Amino acid sequence: MKIASWNINSVRARLDIVERFLTEMAPDILCLQETKAENGSFPVKAFHELGYDHVILNGQKMHHGVAIVSKVPVTEERREDWQANGEARHIGVRLPNGWRLDNVYIPAGGDIPDREQNPKFGQKLDFIGRMTDWSSTLEEPTILVGDFNIAPFETDVWGHKQLLDVVSHTPIEVETLSRLREAHDWVDLGRHFIPEPERLYTWWSYRAADWRASDKGRRLDHMWASPAVAAKAIGHQIHKDCRDWGKPSDHIPIVTEFAM
């Protein structure tokens, strides 16, 4: 089974490249973040036509939003409000074999890495804190995917020293994400299959005139698994070419294959 995750930055604006990805790469399940669509305006029909008959949505008008589209039967399990304000940032389902799959869009956190000066940064840290509490009580085999908006390792960013004071790579964010990982002994599948010191990015800013030439990327998108689930993972890929397709997202899809 292949499970993909992609921050699409508006599913309706980029439906053509989503369809291309599903046609060419054919994952069994695709988790989307930042869909920017209410449930009623999500293009369900387009996914059904490609064989993704199971569509689980948690949408919001113009902002945020997550979705899971699947060829295999999935059952919605929960919608956590880790932002504590009703924003659509999480959806969880159960897979046919009993595993859980949780899709999350962690807040970006604004521009200033200071809770007092920038409330959005504090909200981001608190969001991860609530996820950590949830992880500490989690007993079922689970896959956690999404846009975490944090690049934890030095080789997850183009310039470690240059970005130490930039939101997404600050020491407090890295430490907070580390506590989340330790709360369930999560296995970071990206780094499990593509270990350091190899550089690994999933996001490149729209501001770069030539993103490939500058290659100032960050690894903001992640796929983690419970240890028992990680033992079934047999491959992990990033699809960098998608950053050149049509009107692209600034993120690229990541895919893990599991022997089930």
pLDDT tens by residue, 167-222: 999 999 999 999 999 999 999 999 999 999 999 999 999 999 899 999 999 999 99
CA dist 148 and 83 (Å) reads 13
Show the tokens assigned to 129: 């804190």
Q: What is the pLDDT, as a whole number, of residue 58?
A: 98
Nearest to 252 by CA among 196, 201, 209, 206: 201
Domain count for the chain: 1
Strands lying side by side in the sheet with 221-225: 75-78, 90-94, 100-105, 142-147, 221-225, 187-188
pLDDT-derived band at 260, boundaries 50, 70, 90:
confident
Show the tokens assigned to 49: 């036509």
Range of the domain at 192: 2-258
- From the centroid of its chain, how far is CA 236? 14
Q: What is the pLDDT, as a whole number, of residue 123?
A: 98
Strands lying side by side in the sheet with 29-33: 54-58, 66-70, 29-33, 2-7, 254-258, 233-238
Domain with residue 218: its CATH number is 3.60.10.10
- For the stretch 46-84, pLDDT in tens is 999 999 999 999 999 999 999 999 999 999 999 999 999
Give the number of other CB atoms < 10 A from CB of residue 211.
19
Report field, pTM of the whole predicted structure over 0.85: yes
Does residue 153 sit in helix, strand or coil? coil
